[in-house]
Amino acid sequence: MKYAFYPGCVARGGTPELLVSANAVMDRLGIEREEIVSAACTGAGVLQERNQKLGDALNVRTFALAEQMGVPIMTICSTCQGVMSQANRRVLQDPEYLAEINTVLAEEGLEYKGTTVIKHLLWVLVEEIGIEELQKTFTKELSGLNFAPFYGCYIVRPSDALGFDENPERETSLETLIEATGAVAVDNDGKTKCCGLPILLINQGNALQMVSNHTGEAKDMGADAMVTPCPLCHLNLDGYQPKAAKRRPNGKIDLPILHLPQMLGLAMGMQPKELGLQRHIISAKEVIGKAAASPAAVG
Partner 1 sequence: MEQTLRVKRYDPENPGSAGYQEYTVEVTDTTTILDALLTVREEMDGTLSMRCSCRASICGSCAMRVNGQAKLVCKTRVNSVAPDGETITIDPAGNMPVIKDLVVEFKPFWDKMRAITPYLQPEGEVPEAEYLASDDEMVHLVGVVNCIQCGACVSDCTVLEVDSSFLGPAALAKAYRFVKDPRDGHQKDRLGALNESSGVWDCTRCMQCVEVCPKDVNPMGRIMAMRDLAMEVGYNNTSGSRHTESFARTVKKNGRLDETRLAVDSMGIFNIPALLAEAPVGLRAIRKGKFPWKAHKSSEPNKVKRVFEKIEGE
The length of the chain, given as a count of residues: 299
Burial class of residue 242 (count of CB atoms within 10 Å of its CB; 0-12, 13-18, 19+) = middle
Among residues 202, 224, 200, the alpha carbon closest in space to that of 211 is found at 200
16 binds partner 1 (CB under 8 A): yes
Find the shortest distance in angstroms from Cβ 164 to partner 1.
10
Total site size for partner 1, rule CB under 8 A = 61
CA atoms within 13 A on the CB side of 192: 12
Among 28, 45, 144, 221, binds partner 1 (CB under 8 A): 45
Tell me the one-letter amino acid at 88: N
Stretch that binds partner 1, among 66-74, 119-127, 142-150, 273-281 (CB under 8 A): 273-281
Shorter beta-carbon distance to partner 1: residue 205 or 299: 205
Spatial separation of the C-alpha atoms in residues 123 and 215, rounded to whole Å: 24
Tell me how far CA of residue 299 lies from CA of 56, 131, 133, 146, 232, in angstroms: 44, 12, 10, 21, 34
Q: Which is nearer to partner 1, 108 or 286 (CB)?
A: 108
Q: Which of 1, 2, 12, 139 binds partner 1 (CB under 8 A)?
A: 12
* 48 forms part of the interface with partner 1 (CB under 8 A): yes
Using rule CB under 8 A, residue 194 touches partner 1 = yes
281 binds partner 1 per the rule CB under 8 A: yes
Q: Is 199 helix (H, G, I), strand (E, B) or coil?
A: helix
* CB nearer to partner 1: pick between 219 and 234: 234
**DSSP labels, 152-204:** -GGGTSSGGGTTTTT-GGGGGHHHHHHHHTT-EE---GGGGS--SGGGTTT-H
Question: Is the N-terminal amide bond of 198 cis, ω within 30° of 0?
Answer: no
* Chain residues 81-110 in contact with partner 1, contact rule CB under 8 A: 104-105, 107-108
149 forms bridges with which residues in the sheet? 227
Please state the closest distance from residue 52 (CB atom) to partner 1, in A: 8
Binding residues among 116-145 for partner 1 as defined by CB under 8 A: none
Q: Does 298 bind partner 1 (CB under 8 A)?
A: no
Closest CA to 72 of 117, 38, 36, 127: 117
Of the pair 182, 239, the CB lying nearest partner 1 is at: 239
CB atoms within 10 A of CB 51: 11
Amino acid at 64: A
Which listed residue (206, 222, 252, 254) binds partner 1 by CB under 8 A? 206
Task: Give least dist CB 144 to partner 1, A.
Answer: 27
Residues that bind partner 1 (CB under 8 A): 9-10, 12-17, 37-41, 43-51, 53-54, 57-58, 61, 104-105, 107-108, 153-154, 157-159, 189, 193-194, 196-199, 201-203, 205-207, 209-210, 213, 235, 239-240, 242-243, 278-281
